[in-house]
Amino acid sequence: MNVELDEEHQDLSDTVRAFADEVIAPVSARHDAAHEFPYDIVAQMGEMGLFGLPFPEEHGGMGGDLLALCLALEQIARVDQSVAITLEAAVSLGAMPIHRFGTEEQKQRWLPDLVAGRALAGFGLTEPGAGSDAGGTRTTARREDGQWVLDGAKEFITNSGTEITSLVTVTAVTGTGTDAGGRERKEISTIVVPAGTPGFEVGAAYDKVGWNASDTHPLSFQDARVPEGNLLGEEGRGYANFLSILDEGRIAIAALATGAAQGCVEESVRYAQERRTFGRPIGEHQAVAFRIARMQARAHTARLAYYDAASRLLAGRPFKTQAAIAKLVAGEAAMDNARDATQVFGGYGFVNESRVARHYRDSKILEVGEGTTEVQLMLVARELGL
């Protein structure tokens, strides 16, 4: 029941916090305004070992755990959600599938660069007609002459078009089967498609509302051919495997959202102590003070939720429902705190170079990406027997 961090985790959190404040924060507004991917920041995070936090040392990782990654994400997201989601997606959605389901040969080939931050990987799940309903995947892969031949399209894929993107793991229909009721169902597998594969095209980057320094593209596959050995995990188990990846990823996203919520608190406290109206700091006005107090309560609650989910996972206990609750609570906390922080800042909160303005634009996707609020509610309701 102890929710205090041990010394190792606390030291990591403090180190990443200092890095975020001293290195990331000063350049965040520039990267955001220019819609510029922060290659230099990514390289420095790689040197710090952040991309390898939850991976074993035998594959170049730091030998840590999911909580270590979550703590890093929370501290970075306080100042820059684009950098935080770059790290989260690179680890949870990019490298983790290789680590969890890859053969030893696949791990040796791709993991060292991914866990070092020298390369990034994308997670090709979402399609124009298959988002929350990922089982509606239409991208196909067929065997031909010892190869997989892929045709289809993916949307909103993070880290898929950078100069250091090495691969995208793609869900594709590889056959059909029957469910327990005798109904026909798609067999979905996951296949690793390296960058530069002929027939694999990365579309123009999206012009997004937020996360402007994060890399996000649509992808298309037309007669894209990769070796049969690029199958990741068992054939027909790709959808189930990625659902398990998403369960863990929701804890990481909750940590990121908690950081965003906390960042809004910290910015609001600072501004409320500096800005004066009617002869005194606005933080002395009860309306402002109470607003910020509610913001802190949301951030605290979100943190406890993701700590709980992470501790259950690390203890080998069921955590799926707690992960959904953490994602739900933290995503809403980030959005609510961003709105309230903008109100505290007044006109300055409506200026894009303001950190709270960036949080206001960035936080909305935390109620959508990696499982919408409605999906989390559905998962919790199912657990209640509804």
pLDDT > 70? residue 1: no
pLDDT in the model for residue 89: 97
Tell me the pLDDT of the chain averaged across its residues. Answer: 95
Taken in order of first residue, the domains within the chain and their CATH numbers are 7-120 (1.10.540.10), 121-237 (2.40.110.10), 240-383 (1.20.140.10)
pLDDT digits (tens, 9 = 90+) for 249-263: 999 999 999 999 999
Determine the average pLDDT of the residues in 81-90: 98
Q: Which of 123-137, 208-222, 335-349, 362-376 comes out lowest in average pLDDT?
A: 123-137
pLDDT > 90? residue 184: no
Structure tokens at 329: 């609570």
pLDDT digits (tens, 9 = 90+) for 103-129: 999 999 999 999 999 999 999 999 988
pLDDT digits (tens, 9 = 90+) for 313-325: 999 999 999 999 9
pLDDT in the model for residue 50: 98
Q: DSSP state, 223?
A: E
pLDDT in the model for residue 134: 65
Higher-confidence position of 91 and 177: 91
pLDDT in the model for residue 183: 73
pLDDT > 90? residue 133: no
CA distances to 89, 118, 167, 228 from 192, in Å? 16, 18, 7, 10
pLDDT in the model for residue 180: 67
Catalytic residue, candidates 74, 370, 374, 383 = 370
Determine the average pLDDT of the residues in 211-220: 98
pLDDT digits (tens, 9 = 90+) for 165-175: 999 999 999 99
Determine the average pLDDT of the residues in 359-377: 95
pLDDT > 70? residue 328: yes
pLDDT in the model for residue 185: 81
Establish whether 370 is a catalytic residue.
yes
pLDDT digits (tens, 9 = 90+) for 18-77: 999 999 999 999 999 999 999 999 999 999 999 999 999 988 999 999 999 999 999 999
pLDDT > 80? residue 148: yes
Determine which helix (DSSP H) or strand (DSSP E) holds 365, and give its type and residue range: none
Instruction: Tell me if 174 sits within 8 A of 224, measured CB to CB.
Output: no
Higher-confidence position of 373 and 4: 373
DSSP states of 86-147: HHHIIIIIIIHHHHHH--HHHHHHHHHHHHHTSSEEEEE--BTTBSS-GGG---EEEEETTE
Instruction: Tell me if 351 sits within 8 A of 313, measured CB to CB.
Output: no
Please name the residue that has the structure tokens 């206990």.
317
With the CA atoms of 26, 27, 28 and 30 taken in that order, what torsion angle do they form, in degrees rounded to the nearest 10?
A: 130
pLDDT in the model for residue 342: 98
pLDDT > 80? residue 281: yes
Straight-line distance from the first to the last Cα atom of the chain, in angstroms, rounded to the nearest whole number = 29
Alpha-carbon distance of 255 to 12, in angstroms, equals: 15
